[in-house]
Amino acid sequence: MDIQRAKDIYASKEMISVHLDGEPVWIEHVDEANGMATVQVGSRPTNVHTVGVDRLEEQGS
């Protein structure tokens, strides 16, 4: 995924399925300057990772 799409998904009011290494994630923040995104993995609020947006995959597109 590219940085602009990650920003669009983060800003969207729609439910857009995104996965990281096959796991569903919620995008919590997008760091455009560094090409990174902070994501919550699954439904556990404490399971948060910062990864390159290129590792994120939009599902069903």
- The predicted-structure confidence for 11-24, as pLDDT tens digits, reads as follows 999 999 999 999 99
Q: Is the pLDDT of residue 50 over 90?
A: yes
User: What pTM, to 2 d.p., does this model score?
Assistant: 0.88
Nearest to 6 by CA among 21, 28, 14: 28
Instruction: Give the CA count within 13 Å in the CB-facing half-sphere of 46.
Output: 0
pLDDT average, residue stretch 44-57: 95
